[in-house]
């Protein structure tokens, strides 16, 4: 089958990782093309069998109404030409703005289009104009894939339930291989992985870390983003510089999961947290904010991790201290996490996607 993915770019985000994982898994049995809206160097390794195309060399330079309209026409026309050239049989598009371009191009060519929504727009509100354009455009889709039942409930207000399927993110084959081969030399590390944005709330983790007895522990952050400088400044203000490391975005993330004894996730809202899933898959005892949506789908509080109220720094600090003090509890969470994440391995997730593909191409 000729399957084409469409996404804005191939940076270090969760949607990009999901596209890469599915494309790599399928490329030996199907013809896989990835089209990015802007020219993009893949952050994650892509199999050489995968064809990589792009619409434009870069993002638009101005944001007035004329340039936005003109840019949209160019991207859509380019998409139409690329999809026609590749003779795509089905399109899978990721992220809202990209989804609209993909839908218009696919509709023109009468190609089935599956769109994937990753964000939690119930809390991460869109401007009204964008919301209306999205709802209008989504009338043209063949099927919608979301990551959580919470997100499905949100879209059921405008889309028939039978056209929505819940498929969580999968653990890539490369991570599965690395988990079985990498040396696991544990250190007294509390790990956080994710982009530094306000919604990720890494500042809450820094404040909680300041409350615990952390003499022999290090707090390690992997990720970049607009809120990084604020978090570095907060670390200095709280006198934690010697105990906190900011490592930036990293490709070889497995080595950090292998070393960490605790993983902490503090988001205010999520679509589906890849980093939390990966930490649990590596058996890292984890604490997460109970934000909508995602963490409660993966963690049963007290069984394979801890859930704490969103934004509650004191509760987070208490659970961190409990886990830091108990090797027995960390071992329990490790074993339970390994068991609970088997269902997220790529063979199971890719099979669910393929069921949707077959249903829209039958």
The pLDDT confidence band at residue 183, using thresholds 50, 70 and 90, is: confident
Non-local CB neighbours of 98 within 8 Å, separated by 6+ positions: 6, 7, 8, 37
Average of pLDDT values for 142-159? 92
Average of pLDDT values for 34-63? 88
User: Is 200 in the same domain as 279?
Assistant: yes
What is the DSSP annotation of 273-294? -HHHHHHHHTT--EEEE--SSS
**Rounded to an integer, what is the distance from CA 244 to the centroid of its chain?**
25
Highest mean pLDDT among 27-31, 60-64, 249-253: 27-31
- What is the CATH number for 236? 3.40.50.2000
- pLDDT tens readout for residues 97-149: 899 999 999 999 999 999 999 877 777 778 888 889 888 989 999 999 999 98
Instruction: Return the pLDDT at 61.
Output: 66
Give the helix ranges, DSSP H, for 212-302: 228-237, 254-259, 274-281, 295-298
User: Is 189 in the same domain as 305?
Assistant: yes
- pLDDT mean across residues, the chain: 93
- pLDDT tens readout for residues 264-281: 999 999 888 989 999 999
Instruction: Return the pLDDT at 122.
Output: 75
Average of pLDDT values for 192-199? 94
User: Is 296 in the same domain as 182?
Assistant: yes
User: Is 128 in the same domain as 261?
Assistant: no
User: Is 160 in the same domain as 193?
Assistant: no
**Residue whose entry in the numeric block shows the structure tokens 């105990």:** 243
Check: CB of residue 192 under 8 Å from CB of residue 220: yes
Instruction: Return the pLDDT at 129.
Output: 87
Instruction: Return the pLDDT at 321.
Output: 97
User: Is 61 in the same domain as 199?
Assistant: no
- pLDDT tens readout for residues 283-336: 999 999 999 888 999 999 999 999 999 999 999 999 999 999 999 999 999 999
Asked whether the predicted pLDDT for residue 62 surpasses 80, the reply is no
User: Is 136 in the same domain as 9?
Assistant: yes
**CA-to-CA distance for 80 and 113, rounded, in angstroms?**
13
Asked whether the predicted pLDDT for residue 356 surpasses 80, the reply is yes
Overall domain count for the chain: 2
CA distance to 140, 166, 208, 259, 284, per residue, from 186 (Å): 50, 35, 22, 4, 10
Give the residue from 271, 298, 274, 309 showing the smallest Cα distance to 152: 271
What is the DSSP annotation of 60-109? -S--SHHHHHHHHHHHHHHHHHHHHHHT-SEEEEESHHHHHHHHHHHHHH
H helix and E strand count, the chain: 14, 13
- pLDDT tens readout for residues 166-181: 999 999 888 888 998 8
User: Is 91 in the same domain as 125?
Assistant: yes
Average of pLDDT values for 241-249? 95
Asked whether the predicted pLDDT for residue 347 surpasses 90, the reply is yes
User: Is 17 in the same domain as 133?
Assistant: yes
| Percent of the residues in the chain that have a pLDDT greater than 70, as a whole number | 99
User: Is 178 in the same domain as 287?
Assistant: yes
**DSSP-based three-state secondary structure for 119:** coil
**CA-to-CA distance for 301 and 361, rounded, in angstroms?**
40
Give the residue from 205, 273, 217, 220 showing the smallest Cα distance to 250: 220
Q: Among 12-21, 187-196, 257-266, which stretch is predicted with the lowest mean pLDDT?
A: 12-21
Instruction: Return the pLDDT at 272.
Output: 86
Owning domain of residue 331: 173-344
Instruction: Return the pLDDT at 16.
Output: 93
pTM of the model: 0.85
| Percent of the residues in the chain that have a pLDDT greater than 90, as a whole number | 75
User: Is 284 in the same domain as 354?
Assistant: no
Check: CB of residue 120 under 8 Å from CB of residue 331: no
User: Is 211 in the same domain as 123?
Assistant: no
């Amino acid at each position: 089958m000729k399957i084409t993915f469409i996404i804005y770019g191939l940076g270090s985000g969760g949607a990009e990782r999901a596209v890469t994982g599915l494309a790599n898994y399928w490329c030996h049995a199907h013809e896989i093309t990835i089209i990015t809206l802007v020219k993009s160097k893949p952050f994650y390794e892509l199999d050489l069998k995968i064809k990589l195309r792009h619409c434009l060399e870069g993002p638009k330079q101005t944001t007035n109404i004329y340039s936005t309209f003109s840019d949209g026409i160019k991207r859509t026309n380019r998409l139409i030409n690329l999809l026609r050239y590749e003779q795509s049989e089905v399109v899978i598009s990721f992220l809202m703005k990209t989804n609209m371009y993909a839908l218009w191009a696919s509709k023109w060519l009468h190609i089935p289009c599956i769109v994937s929504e990753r964000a939690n727009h119930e809390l991460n509100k869109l401007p009204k104009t964008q919301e209306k354009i999205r709802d209008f455009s989504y009338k043209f889709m063949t099927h919608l894939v979301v990551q959580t039942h919470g997100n499905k409930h949100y879209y059921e207000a405008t889309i028939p339930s039978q056209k929505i399927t819940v498929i969580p993110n999968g653990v890539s084959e490369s991570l599965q291989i690395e988990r079985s081969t990498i040396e696991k030399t544990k250190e007294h590390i509390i790990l956080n992985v994710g982009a530094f944005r306000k919604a990720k709330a890494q500042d809450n983790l820094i404040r909680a870390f300041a409350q615990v007895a952390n003499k022999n522990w290090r707090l390690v952050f992997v990720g970049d983003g607009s809120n990084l400088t604020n978090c570095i400044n907060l670390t200095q203000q709280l006198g934690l510089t010697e105990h906190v490391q900011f490592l930036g975005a990293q490709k070889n993330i497995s080595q950090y999961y292998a070393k960490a004894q605790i993983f902490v996730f503090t988001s205010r809202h999520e679509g589906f947290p890849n980093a939390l899933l990966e930490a649990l898959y590596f058996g890292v005892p984890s604490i997460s904010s109970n934000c909508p949506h995602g963490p409660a789908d993966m963690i049963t509080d007290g069984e394979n991790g801890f859930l704490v109220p969103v934004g509650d720094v004191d509760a987070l600090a208490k659970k961190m201290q409990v886990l830091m003090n108990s090797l027995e509890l960390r071992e329990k969470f490790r074993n339970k996490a390994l068991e609970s994440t088997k269902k997220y391995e790529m063979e199971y997730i890719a099979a669910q996607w393929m069921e949707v593909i077959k249903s829209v191409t039958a």
